[in-house]
Amino acid sequence: MATSKQLQFIANDAVALAVREGLSATPRRLPCWLLYDAIGSDLFEQITELPEYYLTRTERGILERYAGEILQQAGPSLTLVELGAGTASKTCILIEELLQRQSRVLFYPIDVSPSALDEAVRQLGRQFPALRVNPIAADYTGGVHALSRISGRKLVLYIGSSIGNFDIPDAIRLLRHIRQTMRPGDALLLGADFAKSPRILLPAYDDAQGVTARFTRNILARLNRELEADFCLDLFRHVALWNRRDSRMEIYLESTTSHAVFIPALDMDLLLEAGERIHIENSYKYTPGMIGELLRQSGFQLEQSWTDYHKWFGVHLARV
Ligand code: TRP
């Protein structure tokens, strides 16, 4: 059994390794999971409530409006599973609807964050006494493995548009992996953001209040806290670009002047040019055609899609 001090080192090691690798690469990059420490997770919660960030509220609206249809289409006697459940705040809508159709509902939320799962169990337990919650703390690979041992007809939820943060080949690999744990009759419910005008997309990733800029710059603040780095946050600009050819938003931190940064924990000297960018995240925006193709290449068949009035966001039901 590792002590908490040892665990801290292991956690820091993962950060150190990722930072060393990403910041030595050309072009430089940092993995997007670094965004979500306690402060970053809190800032992301704030992002989901910004007027410009339409994604969360649009998907919630679709689920509210079509929960009945979605469950009808998925089939009778469902067991719910959710990948990357977090605190499962949007899942409540489906759970509430499902409890009106069947007296007992089993829910397996899967997430890497044990604290988010605890929160989900507490909230859901209070809200739905007839719901049985079996949390699984695991990453996607471990979580997907646990999926195959669940009996009964499954509806596997992968909502929130996290699929958009994977490059297409990785997204296909992940969906294929999920598919292998599903049996005929099971269904996948996939949430994905649609491609749309950059007039809508750009502000969603670069809001007027600057919350998103604080969110990305927090990655550097985190490296200052955890690796004793001396990043000066004022020397970095948050940059959000629409890449039409690849149908994705690209997020960077851009150094505004030529300057040096030292990371003691890695014994690493970093020389950044004026205008040099560190890549943080891609967020793919799917056309309906791309969704069908993604699912087909992953071994699924798209059965039905639901969207909002503006066709900004899509929720898709697929079968093996
Ligand atoms: N993965 C989310 C998305 O693509 C998270 C996100 C929102 C995000 N705004 C961001 C990630 C800005 C990095 C930078 O919508």
pLDDT at position 4 = 53
36 Cβ contact list (under 8 Å, min separation 6): 44
Closest to 283 in 3D by CA, of 168, 169, 177:
168
Closest to 147 in 3D by CA, of 162, 160, 158, 159:
158
Angle at 132 between CA 75 and CA 45, to 5 degrees: 90
pLDDT at position 119 = 87
Q: Quick count: other Cβ atoms within 10 Å of Cβ 113?
A: 16
Q: Read off the tokens for 196.
A: 């749309």
CB 156 within 8 A of CB 178: yes
Closest to 110 in 3D by CA, of 80, 74, 70, 154:
80
> From the CA of 183, how far away is ligand 1's center (Å)?
32
Q: What are phi and psi of 53, to 5 degrees?
A: -85, 85
Closest to 293 in 3D by CA, of 197, 184, 172:
172
Identify any residues that bridge with 128 across adjacent strands, giving them in sequence order.
none
CB 188 within 8 A of CB 317: yes
CB 43 within 8 A of CB 69: no
What is the chain's alpha carbon radius of gyration, rounded to the nearest angstrom? 21
Nearest CA to ligand 1 atom 7: 205
Pairing of strands 277-284, 313-319: unpaired
Nearest CA to ligand 1 atom 8: 205
Local confidence pLDDT in tens for the 320 residues of the chain: 455 555 455 557 889 999 999 999 999 999 999 998 889 989 999 999 999 999 999 999 999 999 999 999 999 999 999 998 777 778 999 999 999 999 899 999 998 888 888 888 999 999 999 999 999 988 877 777 788 888 889 999 999 999 999 999 999 999 999 999 999 999 999 999 999 999 999 999 999 999 999 999 999 999 999 999 999 999 999 999 999 999 999 999 999 999 999 999 999 999 999 999 999 999 999 999 999 999 999 999 999 999 999 999 999 999 99
Residues having CB within 6 Å of any atom of ligand 1: 35, 47, 55, 164-165, 205, 212, 215-216, 251, 280-281, 283
Which amino acid would we find at residue 78? L
pLDDT at position 11 = 54
Closest to 58 in 3D by CA, of 253, 244, 235, 309:
309
For residue 249, the ligand 1 atom closest to its alpha carbon is 4
Q: What are phi and psi of 90, to 5 degrees?
A: -85, -20
- Burial of residue 254 (CB within 10 Å: 0-12, 13-18, 19+) is middle
> From the CA of 6, how far away is ligand 1's center (Å)?
31
pLDDT at position 140 = 74
For residue 212, the ligand 1 atom closest to its alpha carbon is 12
Q: Read off the tokens for 120.
A: 């989900």
Nearest CA to ligand 1 atom 5: 44
> From the CA of 13, how far away is ligand 1's center (Å)?
25
Quick check: bond before 27 cis, omega within 30?
A: yes
> From the CA of 165, how far away is ligand 1's center (Å)?
8
